[in-house]
Amino acid sequence: NIIQVFQLVEEDGFVALEMENLEDAEPFDQYLSKLTSLSFAEIKDYYRQILASVIYLHRQGILLNDLQLSCFFITNNEKIKWTWFTEISNGKVLPAISSNIHSLGLILKNLSALLKSRNNLYLGRDNNIFKQIIKKASNKDGRIQYANVNELSKDFEKLIFATYEKMALVPSEDKKKKIQLPFK
């Protein structure tokens, strides 16, 4: 989920990166601002992609200065692409990780604000099923906040699984239709 860089080009004192073409992609924050709602599956998919890119960068020793929705683009096939990042090299690793986790909590809060309800199983805005994860991730107290992005990701996956179990038990709004399970 990170934009691919092919090569560094230097010419006449100028430096440029030859990168994957995102001409048809849209800034993710602008894309979201046009929507009135997102399904649970869409939020799950988008957030998983964002988490995957941050986890990958952290494993490479790269921490992010300013993690927010505007750092991502969405392609025509609904893939999230990370477009820029900066390495923090001043030795302040713990505050940077904490800042990244806090930002991931705020990103989930923004996504979940668009969550549409399915038979009152989950609600959008401030009363939603992601509330505990958002609260723990965005907490500034290091004793309460997730220690790393992997912990946040594990809690997110547990919540996804539990929600799909609940959804399987909730009858469809239209009793004439078959209940479609969201997983195989």
CA separation for the pair 29, 67 (Å, rounded) = 12
CA separation for the pair 116, 125 (Å, rounded) = 9
From the centroid of its chain, how far is CA 150? 13
109: amino acid identity, one letter = K
Q: Which two tokens stand for residue 115?
A: 């969550």
pLDDT, residue 170, reads 59
152: amino acid identity, one letter = L
Task: Give tens-digit pLDDT for 11-28.
Answer: 998 988 888 888 889 999
pLDDT, residue 135, reads 94
Task: Give tens-digit pLDDT for 15-66.
Answer: 888 888 888 899 999 999 999 888 888 999 999 999 999 999 888 887 777 7
pLDDT, residue 60, reads 82
pTM for the full model?
Answer: 0.80
Instruction: List beta partners, residue 9.
Output: 16
